[in-house]
Structure 1
């Protein structure tokens, strides 16, 4: 078959491309396990999304997924019309927003404070202490919170009693439970969240600080006009990811700490899915709820990225 000029021009490019791939095949072999991992763990199970549009029985196995009758959007409508819908949505958003409002700037403030410490030994000590809670299991953290807030022997209630007050059941009072969640979350995540900001601060040109000092700027104004603008791209990037995760209000933390008296203020989408899926075995229903949540999360992260781009900030793509 005659070769057209276009094909003849494209052929060397293809050969060069495959030749480059083959010459670097060792590196492709290195990333192959990672590709297989994400394909098997993250992408292959996406086939199960069809469960949300079917009515399956948990005892039918894999073949039941293929043979189960289609019900369309019935499970989605059941969730939207459910008594629990607005309650779990409100709790999920409120708890996530509280954690974002108090936890996100807390990591920035800690990074700014650590950046101002000149004593290397003291700085490393503070960093180690602040990072340590991140590596503690959520089960251990929940146990510590329960011990601290116990009405019988908890330290906080002991202080309240010492000042003449009455002990408070913090984990059983709806008015206090969300504050406990947010406080323990900030304590556990603040140190780890400051790492990226400290790394970004290390890349700021020292000449900018010298120019600010010449202009008469003190430490506070240097942080305000040099450090914060220098790490603004990291702040925006992490904020986009945080907004995308607004519907993840902290399943493990809430599951370990909540109880029936505080369901009205603590029951989120994930705990609702856990109860309905494992206790009542409504697999199709909870798959639909999970899919609904993930679609909303995708809309949030796309919207946050779009707004960041509109204000000429770096997005996630």
Structure 2
């Protein structure tokens, strides 16, 4: 990993932009952007359009290193170029923003109140390619729907097992065990999750560093102990389906927690906006998420 990027992730003010919608969530992301499914045919056209959307976001002057310290990319985005440079290189060299890569292959069926990750069959090859593309870290998502202690343990065990492979490849994993914001047992699930994560963190060697991406907790500042842990580079929050205003309001109540929002970042962007309108809408979102992340 690059030491200057590590120091930026540890210490700089700002947030991480999540631009990692995968094949399954891309049609929804495009529809929210004003491009319905009947406007394109097949996956190739779909991925071309979503790369155009991401390129428009990344190249906008509103997408800047003063407020955004990192960006999470989908695998196809990593392998595509912006203005002649691979996306990770463009982010790092032209924008000063640290690139991450989503490496999971989606969620398995629910069991024990959770959804584990599907097997990541080509993980080693993906990590080698990520290093070739100068990616700093990775992200992988599981989902917790109930306060089932055994299920939550399985989620965290899987996340850290794969996380150690990612660390061994020289990258920093973002471990993301999302607690469903609609779960009736959200608060209890978060207490169990925190204990399981701490147990794993305390078993890491001093040079094994991770990041955590968690739902904004019901109990304010629940994750302070994780934020302060020596093996944790940063703890970031997902918006989880909250609107930008709701996510920002909840984030402000959690000191040291910064945003890694997807929907909340792009919800007011539209393909039919003029460049001036697009940049203004993005700036409004970036400004508000940044303020919530540093408060």
Normalising by structure 1, report the TM-score: 0.21
More strand by share: 2
Relative contact order higher in (CA < 8 Å, ≥ 6 apart): 1
More helix by share: 1
Bigger radius of gyration among the two: 1
Normalising by structure 2, report the TM-score: 0.22
